[in-house]
Homo-oligomer: A and B are copies of this chain.
Amino acid sequence: MGNRFDLRCEGCGYSLPKEKLMGLASSSSCPSCDRALLNAQYDLRGDRFLDWKSQLLHRKGSLWRYWELLPITAWETVVTFGEGWTPLIPLPKFGRSIGLENLYFKDERQGPTATFKDRQATVAISYLKEQGINRIVLASTGNVAIAYSAYAARGGIQVYAFFPAGVASAKIKEASLYGAKVMAVEGTYDEAKAAAARFASDQGFFLDQGIKTFAGVESMKTMGFEIAEQLGWRSPDWYVQGVSGGMGPVGVAKGFKELKTLGLVDKIPALGLIQSAGCAPIANSFHRRETQVSTVASPDTSIATLATGNPGLAYNLLKQHLDRDGGDCAIVTDAEAWEMVQTLATTEGILVEPATAVTFAGVVKLAQQGMIQPQETVVINCSGREKDVHSLSF
């Protein structure tokens, strides 16, 4: 049993042979035109999906329940902790306080390493294992390194993780507990990426960047699938996420698109994209109606996981989505985020990391601005648990 899918460039139409995926230099951009990202395309026609909804009733509560639409060909090497199928939880009290009647959060804290990066890790590590890779180098602001290291331990793969300055020591420690070799780089996230690339090249080890986008998009699709299924095969009006590199919401939107193609939902939600004030290239460029993103050379935020200054092609994909299917961006200060961490803990009993609090604070702004209407159904990506409670001062 193996899935058929094509890796196709949305710009020039080039189709990449799957065996060449491992050699991709960076972020899955098309090796033919370099102007667009490669996109996994599945056969959504025919009768394969006629009975899908009732088949799903009998499947496990994991993102692998949607295996027909995941980019894996060898099932015996899938590395899984039963991740995904996280609860979709109503927030009536908090919702009322900000004037929203149908607010939910998707609780990605409830996963094997307590962030939504578990989704990416199960797909990426399974794919690497399928390909026989046993050493992998990556740069990370924390959550990806932790998730990849846990899955790699289970899959028998050695991780080498490079961290920029500003990452909480608890995160570096957790990756190392799973057996990853960890390197703290005195520099920005971009500098950590460069150090990782040099090390991988020197040692001849696999650099994660090549399949990062591919695994990220395909795994985050399942967030869209789950939300639709949990709402009774219906799309919400809004899906809201905190944004760093930007490929997460691209993936979620792709999930809703595939469901719409299959006739399982009737629309694609508007996207709410929330960024940190110290690093908001996507939000600022979108508000200025720019066709290409203006990058941020020196991100200035205490929230390391949101510090991607150059989202690259993700901006174009997201702008396209917002222009066509609706949505908006909002910007949140670090102070607003830390205050929201406290509000969520004391009023709703939800302990989140500041990157998630950014998202919640952004929803408040979009509601205040009237972008989100009171009766609309809104789903917030609650992306991760705060792991170092000693870092919180309230």
Measured CB to CB, the residues of A under 8 A from B are 57-58, 60-62, 80-83, 85-89, 93, 107, 109-114, 149-156, 169-170, 173-174, 177-179, 230, 342, 345-351, 385, 387, 389-390, 392, 394
Other contacts beyond A170-B390, A177-B394: 6, CB < 8 A: A57-B57, A82-B89, A110-B112, A154-B348, A174-B389, A177-B351
Contacting pair B173 A389 (CB below 8 A): yes
Q: How far is the CA of A111 from the CA of B349 in the complex (A)?
A: 13
List B contacts of A152 (CB < 8 A): 349
Q: How many copies does the complex hold?
A: 2
Contacting pair B349 A153 (CB below 8 A): yes
Query: In chain B, what residue has the closest Cβ to A86?
Result: B82
Contacting pair A114 B114 (CB below 8 A): yes
Q: How far is the CA of A382 from the CA of B109 in the complex (A)?
A: 17
Contacting pair A87 B107 (CB below 8 A): no
Q: Among B85, B93, B350, which residue has its beta carbon within 8 angstroms of that of A61?
A: B85
List B contacts of A155 (CB < 8 A): 349
Contacting pair A114 B349 (CB below 8 A): no
Q: A61-B61, A110-B111, A389-B174 are in contact. Are A349 and B87 (CB under 8 A)?
A: no
Contacting pair A170 B345 (CB below 8 A): no
Contacting pair A345 B88 (CB below 8 A): no
Q: How far is the CA of A146 from the CA of B270 in the complex (A)?
A: 36
Max count, chain B CB within 10 A of own CB: residue among A58, A87, A150: A87
Contacting pair B392 A177 (CB below 8 A): yes
Contacting pair B107 A109 (CB below 8 A): no
Q: A112-B110, A389-B173 are in contact. Are A153 and B58 (CB under 8 A)?
A: no
Contacting pair A153 B389 (CB below 8 A): no
Contacting pair B107 A179 (CB below 8 A): no
Contacting pair B174 A114 (CB below 8 A): no
11 A-B pairs in the complex with CB atoms less than 8 angstroms apart: A61-B87, A62-B87, A81-B107, A83-B87, A110-B110, A113-B351, A114-B385, A149-B349, A173-B390, A177-B345, A387-B389
Closest CB in chain B relative to A146 CB, distance in Å:
9
Q: How far is the CA of A178 from the CA of B114 in the complex (A)?
A: 18
Q: How far is the CA of A154 from the CA of B94 in the complex (A)?
A: 10
Q: How far is the CA of A87 from the CA of B389 in the complex (A)?
A: 26
Q: Among B151, B153, B178, B349, which residue has its beta carbon within 8 angstroms of that of A150?
A: B349
Closest CB in chain B relative to A114 CB, distance in Å:
7
Query: In chain B, what residue has the closest Cβ to A56?
Result: B57
Closest CB in chain B relative to A85 CB, distance in Å:
6
List B contacts of A87 (CB < 8 A): 60-62, 81-83
